[in-house]
């Protein structure tokens, strides 16, 4: 064997030995038995190996912060009022109530009615738009109301329950500015950090009365109801109308008056809508499953114009056919009836009325005094 071949084999053995040492150090580091002493090249190889394992989805132990974030118990997210993780899935499932298709039609009518009413109230160009109709829990919504705001508690008289209308600060100052003669095209000036004055409260109550009247009109084709303003609160704690865990229908409306405007939110608990739940489940207005009231009215009117023949039955008797064939003109039939007995009026084979017989202007007449109730099929 030559010297050159001997040098190549010794060089290859050294490279193989270095690679084996590197693999051994990586295995020791992954198993937790490594002592941490090594050169920079081996440390980079180990870190690259760990990143590759994470990307491949190998099992990794979560720390306490990651567990809290997964379960939705993170303290940092509690201040924002938003729930994430598993708790968000649980809460969303608890508020997943049945959808009421007819409410969309009712609130579409409300948008058109409020647009006209607020234009007449403010003598300005007002546009009302429907942002969202969703389902929330009452406690979550009360805690998320941005303050300052006016919370108007109203009562549905026919349904014997309450609802809530929330007017935000931007719309309050816009309405006050418009009703007191503010210039068009200018945004309203907001004064934060103070309670609303009596004048501001009265002007907003006037707008709330108009909105509640339009809401009553929007429900009229479905079920007549009167929404009356009960009280106006500025503290959400005093506007509690149902338990915090109960589900409610939340409707968000946007009111624009040029460059001014704000939001109105209407909250109606499901318990308030329970008396008309069957009507709200309809897919379209007046759903009757095949019944046509127009034809019913038309047929009723035509039946009232129909001529009906009545027969006055003086008496009845059974006679053999042979005897009846021997009858002649002038023969008398003896009926077992008295003169003062009531006779029966029939329509076909159905008895209708009873009354005494008499004479009026040389004609035999019957005065109807009693109505004969129709007999059921089992009594025939």
Residue 253, CA distances (Å) to 131, 150, 201, 262 in order: 6, 15, 20, 9
| Calculated CA dihedral for residues 109, 121, 263, 187, nearest 10 degrees | 140
Q: Is the model's pLDDT at 73 over the cut of 70?
A: no
Q: What is the mean pLDDT of residues 7-25?
A: 63
Q: Is the model's pLDDT at 62 over the cut of 80?
A: no
Q: Is the model's pLDDT at 298 over the cut of 50?
A: yes
Boundaries of every domain in the chain: 36-94, 101-280, 307-379
User: Is there a contact between 263 and 253 (Cβ–Cβ < 8 Å)?
Assistant: yes
Residues 200-244: pLDDT tens digits? 888 889 999 999 999 999 988 888 889 998 888 888 888 888 888
Tokens of 59: 């099992």
CA 291 to chain centre: 25
| Predicted pLDDT of residue 212 | 92
- Two domains, one topology: 101-280 and 307-379: no
| Predicted pLDDT of residue 45 | 41
Q: What pTM was computed for the model?
A: 0.53
Distance of alpha carbon 168 from alpha carbon 143, whole angstroms: 14
CA-nearest of 270, 165, 161, 275 to 209 is 165
Looking at the domain that runs over 307-379, which CATH code has it been given? 2.30.330.10
User: Which of 5-14, 94-103, 285-294, 310-319 ranks highest by mean pLDDT?
Assistant: 310-319
Question: Among 3.40.1170.60, 3.30.1490.20, 3.40.190.10, 3.40.1550.10, what is the CATH number of 101-280?
Answer: 3.40.1550.10
Q: What is the DSSP string of 169-205?
A: HHHHHHHHHHHTTPPTT-PPPP--SSPPPHHHHHHHH
Q: Is the model's pLDDT at 83 over the cut of 80?
A: no
pLDDT: is 51 or 23 the higher one?
Answer: 23
Burial of residue 340 (CB within 10 Å: 0-12, 13-18, 19+) is exposed
């Amino acid at each position: 064997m030559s010297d050159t071949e001997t040098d190549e084999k010794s060089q290859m053995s050294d490279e193989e030995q270095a690679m084996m040492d590197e693999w051994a150090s990586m295995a020791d580091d992954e198993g937790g038995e490594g002592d941490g002493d090594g050169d920079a090249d081996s440390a980079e190889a180990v870190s690259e190996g760990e990143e590759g394992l994470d990307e491949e989805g190998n099992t990794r132990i979560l720390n306490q912060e990651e567990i809290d974030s997964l379960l939705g118990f993170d303290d940092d997210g509690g201040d924002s009022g938003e729930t994430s993780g598993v708790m968000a899935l649980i809460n969303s499932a608890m508020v997943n109530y049945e959808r009421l298709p007819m409410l969309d039609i009712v609130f579409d009518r409300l948008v058109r009615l409020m647009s006209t009413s607020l234009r007449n109230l403010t003598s300005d160009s007002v546009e009302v738009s429907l942002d969202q109709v969703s389902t929330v829990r009452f406690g979550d919504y009360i805690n998320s109301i941005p303050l300052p705001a006016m919370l108007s508690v109203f009562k549905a008289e026919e349904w014997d329950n309450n609802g809530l209308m929330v007017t935000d600060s931007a719309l309050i100052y816009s309405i006050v500015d418009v009703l007191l003669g503010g210039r068009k095209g200018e945004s309203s000036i907001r004064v934060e950090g103070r309670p609303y004055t009596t004048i501001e409260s009265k002007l907003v109550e006037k707008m709330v009365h108009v909105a509640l009247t339009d809401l009553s009109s929007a429900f009229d084709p479905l079920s007549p109801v009167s929404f009356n303003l009960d009280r106006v609160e500025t503290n959400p704690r005093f506007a509690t109308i149902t338990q915090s865990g109960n589900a409610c229908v939340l409707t968000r409306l946007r009111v624009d008056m040029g460059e001014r405007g704000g939001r109105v939110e209407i909250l109606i608990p499901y318990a308030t809508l329970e008396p008309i739940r069957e009507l709200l489940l309809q897919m379209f207005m007046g759903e009757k499953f095949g019944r046509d009231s127009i034809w019913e009215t038309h047929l009723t009117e035509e039946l009232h114009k129909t001529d009906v023949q009545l027969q006055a039955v003086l008496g009845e008797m059974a006679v053999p056919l042979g005897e009846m064939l021997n009858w002649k003109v002038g023969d008398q039939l003896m009926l077992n009836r008295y003169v003062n007995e009531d006779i029966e009026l029939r329509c076909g084979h159905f008895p209708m009325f009873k009354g005494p017989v008499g004479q009026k202007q040389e004609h035999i007449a019957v005065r109807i005094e009693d109505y004969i109730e129709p007999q059921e099929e089992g009594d025939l």
